[in-house]
Amino acid sequence: MKKIFFTVTVSAFIIFGLALADYTLNGSFVTVSTDKVRTKDVISYVNASGVCEEQNKREIRIDLPFEVERVFVKEGDEIGKGQKLLTVNKEPLCDKLMLQSLSLSSTDNSSLIAKINNYNPEILSPISGIVTRVLTYDGAGINPSAPLLVISDLENLIIKASVPEGIICDVYEGQKVIIAGEALDGKVTGRVDKIHPAAIKNEITGESFITVDVIADSFDEIIPGTTLDLSFEKTGKRGSVVIPFGSVKFNEEIPYVFINNGGYAVKRQIGIGEEFDTEVEVTTGLYSGDELILNPDIERLKEGDKILSAN
């Protein structure tokens, strides 16, 4: 019995050796890199730009042409409601009006002088927040039509996204949004809060945009005025075949790939779907478990060539 088993084993090795020798000697190899095709969930995005804005901000104005005596805050300061922002000097205006009242040609300024005398020279913040703009300085004159300070409530921020009108159909309220930008250390998630009904036309490009309000899950790194990149997450596809785009070749605009079939290169025509940064979805012609030849050099690799996987 042992002799029979030994004879069968030796015969099997001889057959395998002859097959390997034939495969090795009859034709040269093309060295390639391969990888097993796998499926994964595919998520596509609608991309737009946006700017962070305050929902509640106050411009500090003075309705009389006083002078600024002293500014007590600077940009970036966090302040509370009722905190002193600046003081004004009323005397120069009051003196000017008194001189005018002494002139026979002037009108009676007594009511205005009384208003000035009752004016509180300490200007207090109407809200809690952060000082986002300081537009005056100690000793500056005051223009009643221009703001001196801007106070922003950072507890109520919102991102105003400009979505091209042609793709607004893929955006909906409650939709998940990925938020990125140069000012951020990483990425932040958020959601669509509101889609405005009217389109805004860019007079330079002629393109129309829809304003979409986005609320971030965290505004810790986002401040008013920050420009952001927004990716609105569309409905994903489960179990999709996705491969590196460099593995796809084209023959008169018809896409195809090479696979390793028992040590030989086989060309297979495919259908492609969603395209991503470095990958593409394959809708037909390629299946989970296939051994894909990565980034094939079609000048060297032809269908039927013997291949040797380098990985």
Q: Tell whether 263 and 229 lie within a shared domain.
A: no
Give the separation between CA 101 and CA 80, rounded to whole angstroms.
41
Q: Tell whether 171 and 49 lie within a shared domain.
A: yes
Give the separation between CA 52 and CA 227, rounded to whole angstroms.
7
Residue 202 sits in a domain of what CATH number? 2.40.30.170
What pLDDT does 8 receive? 44
Q: Tell whether 298 and 252 lie within a shared domain.
A: yes
233, 253, 273 — which closes off a domain?
A: 233
Domain membership of residue 115 (yes or no) is: yes
Domain membership of residue 198 (yes or no) is: yes
- The per-residue pLDDT for range 109-142, each reduced to its tens digit, is 677 778 888 889 999 999 998 898 999 999 999 9
Q: Tell whether 74 and 191 lie within a shared domain.
A: no
Instruction: Find the helix packing angle between 110-117 and 91-102, rounded to 10°.
Output: 160
Q: Tell whether 227 and 251 lie within a shared domain.
A: no
Q: Tell whether 74 and 188 lie within a shared domain.
A: no
Backbone angles phi, psi at 101, to 5 degrees: -70, -30
146, 172, 203 — which closes off a domain?
A: 146
- The per-residue pLDDT for range 158-206, each reduced to its tens digit, is 999 999 999 999 999 999 999 999 988 899 999 999 999 999 988 888 8
- pLDDT higher than threshold 80 for residue 302: yes
Domain membership of residue 20 (yes or no) is: no
Give the domain extent around 190.
45-53+155-233
Domain membership of residue 17 (yes or no) is: no
Give the separation between CA 308 and CA 18, rounded to whole angstroms.
18
Helix (H) / strand (E) element for 47: namely strand 45-54
Q: Tell whether 213 and 275 lie within a shared domain.
A: no
- pLDDT higher than threshold 90 for residue 14: no
What pLDDT does 7 receive? 46
For the chain, the helix, strand and coil percentages under 3-state DSSP, each to the nearest 5: 15, 45, 40
- pLDDT higher than threshold 60 for residue 107: no
Domain membership of residue 1 (yes or no) is: no
CA dihedral sign of residues 283, 286, 288, 292 = negative
Structural domain tally of the chain?
Answer: 3
Domain membership of residue 299 (yes or no) is: yes
pTM of the model: 0.59
Domain membership of residue 12 (yes or no) is: no
Q: Is the model more confident about 76 or about 191? A: 191
Give the separation between CA 80 and CA 120, rounded to whole angstroms.
19
Question: Residue 256 — left, alpha, or beta (φ > 0 → left; ψ -120 to 50 → alpha)?
Answer: beta
146, 174, 200 — which closes off a domain?
A: 146
Q: Tell whether 142 and 162 lie within a shared domain.
A: no
